[in-house]
Amino acid sequence: MLETLKDAITDPSSDSIEWVHSAAEIVEGVEVVMAVVTGAGATAATQGLVDLFEGIEGAGAGFAWPITTGVAAIVAEFSAIGMGYKEAADEIKEQRSAVGFSEGVIMGAMKEQPAFIKSNFVEWSPEPNSFFEEGGKIAQTYYNAGLVLGFDYGHALTAEQSGVLFRDLALQGGAIADLDANSSERAWRDFYIDAGARFHGLHIN
């Protein structure tokens, strides 16, 4: 079960975070988020997932463990792809969940506005996959749900805990770009992608 980042950062003066989880554990957490919007169906859940950003930004989501039975509807929908593609599907779930989660953590810690995330990061259509069309839908859904879960985890951090997070990220690649309110939207997008990749490299295996 995923430990929250908030619980993992206990010393505000620390320069590192003792938090490492597998991509499979991220998938489990992502499927909790997906269960929240399971009524929409996995391939039609994008708007439902996006709406969760507003709730987190306003009061925090606090997704419940363990995984609810509602996620069974999503699992069943994607299981229709057939066993021949199961390995490929699992790999896509892990890869895209981890990337979405990592980027979401950084944006949550920065208290980024949902509108920015929707226009710059949310995937509104399936990812291109000419060899495995259903894989594109899986990638889209798990990436978006990963964004939501990561945003929830990052948003829960205090200013002091966020400071620990960014000092921790400096361990992989040196200081991160120093941006401000006058920086371009593209610069901020690149910042989140870079910082997310660092988080991924340090904390998800």
DSSP 137-166: HHHHHHHHHHHHHHHHHHHTS-HHHHHHHH
The residue-averaged pLDDT of 160-179 equals: 87
101 Ramachandran zone, left/alpha/beta (phi>0; psi -120 to 50): alpha
Please say if the pLDDT value at position 66 is more than 50. no
Residue 22 near residue 205 (C-beta atoms within 8 A): yes
The residue-averaged pLDDT of 82-107 equals: 89
Percent of the chain surpassing pLDDT 90? 48
Task: Give the pLDDT confidence score for residue 150 in this predicted structure.
Answer: 94
Please say if the pLDDT value at position 63 is more than 60. no
Q: In this structure, is the dihedral angle defined by the CA atoms of residues 87, 36, 156 and 125, taken in order, positive or negative?
A: positive
When pLDDT is cut at 50, 70 and 90, the band that residue 67 belongs to is very low
Token pair belonging to 81:
């792809």
The residue-averaged pLDDT of 9-32 equals: 94
Residue, of 202 and 82, whose pLDDT is higher: 202
When pLDDT is cut at 50, 70 and 90, the band that residue 65 belongs to is very low
Task: Give the pLDDT confidence score for residue 68 in this predicted structure.
Answer: 38
